[in-house]
Amino acid sequence: MESCVARQPIFNNNMEIFGYELLYRHDDKSTAFQGEVSQDTATTETIVNSFHSIGIHKITNGKYAFVNFTEKLLLSQIATLLPSSLLIIEILENISPTEEVLEACQTLRKKGYRLALDDFVFKPQYEKFLSVAGIVKIDFRNTPLEEIKITMSEAKKHQIIFLAEKLETLEDYELAKSMGFSLFQGFFFSKPRIVNAATTLAPNLLLRLQLVKLAFDPNVNYRKIAEIIKHDTALTYRLFRVVNSVFFGLDYKVSNIRQALSILGMDEIKKWITLISLSQIGNNKPSELITMSLIRGRSMELIAPKAGLASRAEDMFIVGLMSLMDAITDTSMQEIILLTSISPSIAEPLLYGTGIIGDILTSIIHYENSRWAKAQELAAKYCVSLNDISKAYLQAIEWSNNF
């Protein structure tokens, strides 16, 4: 019996991570689809896996965890087994505000738990929920705007925070923000706003992309890279911080750039330069983009041996790491490939999603979006199971938290 937990980011008005909704999928030989598992089982498994087996701090990095609760689990007060400082209880849309349910909600509130109404649409019979819930989640994709306005108007009579979920585009986000939402859920932030051409790119972006290009030059050497880094105070500082960190466990301090580069090794230099370039290019973007890039890269690196690609683990890491560069830079992937001149083995999966590396990247993206069946079907072509993806994904989350 196997189970998978994915997460979907929830942002505040400043595009900082407020929390993650934890999404669950149960998998065994007799149960092929999530719909065949009761919601009680799904929530219980999510709680057991996320809060106990895996460790909630590893999954949410100390941010709130939004978890769906059924009526049965609300009444059982199982939430009290979990820390109120991290858990936000989502009351499913099919739960009625009976006296028993409302009493259970009040008890949880008194114990410090926050409650959210999932997929809420205002109806007079559900108004009592507004007195116990602090957050109202509205399905922005499937709810008509007029209905959203009515729901918000009625809910504003209470002290309610509005969360727009299932946002797919930046336009959705901007509309929701203008309407008074202050929390936002979905992968809308991972969509680029494309500018026209390289000549319009900011100088620091061009410099960073050129550095990435140099890192992937087969004729590059430590001297060439050191020459660029020594003229960049920020890169020099970060290089020494990395090499002198506890990760390397050196019993002496490194203060020479070429020595630092030789300790890293060329493979690690490529990863490091790409990551630092992404983080500096994306200063005005949500940090979650960098986090997701790291998770994708590390997940692919961990999956490589399972897919018979141990010798290409480095390429797979870079493909995952660069897969959101268009969103980070607001530049088309074609332009990024042109500017960096990376090899076809990395460029083609990024541009077209082709080949085994492209398929593995796509399966991880499906996993991120909790499209479990699609992730499993695609990965299975290369003898990679959904459980393999899940393990790699969760290990990558922990690794990115510590990076």
Q: What percent of the chain lies above the pLDDT cut of 90?
A: 52
Q: Does the pLDDT of residue 319 top 60, yes or no?
A: yes
Which residue would you say has higher pLDDT here, 361 or 321? Answer: 361
Q: Does the pLDDT of residue 205 top 60, yes or no?
A: yes
Which residues, 6+ apart, have CB-to-CB distance to 268 below 8 Å?
A: none
Query: What six digits make up the tokens of 114?
Result: 């926050």
Q: What is the per-residue pLDDT for 28? A: 41
CA atoms within 13 A on the CB side of 379: 28
Show me where the domains of the chain are located. Answer: 2-190, 198-402
Question: Are residues 105 and 114 in contact, defined by beta-carbon separation less than 8 angstroms?
Answer: no
Among 74-88, 115-129, 264-278, 313-327, name the one with the lowest average pLDDT.
264-278
Q: Distance between CA atoms of 105 and 75, rounded to whole angstroms?
A: 8
Q: Distance between CA atoms of 58 and 45, rounded to whole angstroms?
A: 17
Average pLDDT over residues 146-165: 94
Average pLDDT over residues 164-169: 95
Which residue would you say has higher pLDDT here, 146 or 197? Answer: 146
Question: Are residues 299 and 392 in contact, defined by beta-carbon separation less than 8 angstroms?
Answer: yes
- H helices within 180-248, ranges in order? 203-215, 222-229, 233-243
Q: Distance between CA atoms of 185 and 137, rounded to whole angstroms?
A: 9
Q: Distance between CA atoms of 241 and 246, rounded to whole angstroms?
A: 10
Q: Does the pLDDT of residue 200 top 80, yes or no?
A: no
Q: What is the per-residue pLDDT for 37? A: 52
Four-residue CA torsion sign, 375, 376, 381, 385 = positive
Average pLDDT over residues 51-72: 85
Q: What is the per-residue pLDDT for 214? A: 77
Q: Distance between CA atoms of 278 and 220, rounded to whole angstroms?
A: 20
Query: What six digits make up the tokens of 242?
Result: 């990395």
Q: Distance between CA atoms of 145 and 35, rounded to whole angstroms?
A: 29
Which DSSP state fits 110? H
Q: Does the pLDDT of residue 206 top 80, yes or no?
A: no
Which residue would you say has higher pLDDT here, 201 or 247? Answer: 247
What's the pLDDT tens digit per position in 339-387?
A: 778 889 999 999 999 999 999 999 999 999 999 999 999 999 999 999 9
Q: What is the per-residue pLDDT for 111? A: 96
Q: Does the pLDDT of residue 193 top 70, yes or no?
A: yes
For 286-340, where are the E strands, in sequence order?
A: none
Per-residue pLDDT band for 246 (boundaries 50, 70, 90) equals low
Among 103-107, 123-127, 140-144, 148-152, name the one with the lowest average pLDDT.
123-127
Q: What is the per-residue pLDDT for 204? A: 63
Per-residue pLDDT band for 53 (boundaries 50, 70, 90) equals low
Q: What is the per-residue pLDDT for 283? A: 66
Mean pLDDT score of the chain, rounded to an integer?
86
Q: What is the per-residue pLDDT for 3? A: 66
Q: What is the per-residue pLDDT for 197? A: 47
Query: What six digits make up the tokens of 386?
Result: 């959904």
Give the angle subtended at the CA of 292 by the CAs of 290 and 295, to the nearest 5°: 110
CATH architecture of residue range(s) 2-190: Alpha-Beta Barrel (3.20)
Distance of CA 149 to the CA centre of its chain: 29
Q: Distance between CA atoms of 209 and 20, rounded to whole angstroms?
A: 31
Question: Are residues 393 and 299 in contact, defined by beta-carbon separation less than 8 angstroms?
Answer: yes
Q: Does the pLDDT of residue 36 top 70, yes or no?
A: no
Three-state secondary-structure class, residue 55: coil
Q: What is the per-residue pLDDT for 169? A: 92
Q: What is the per-residue pLDDT for 289? A: 92
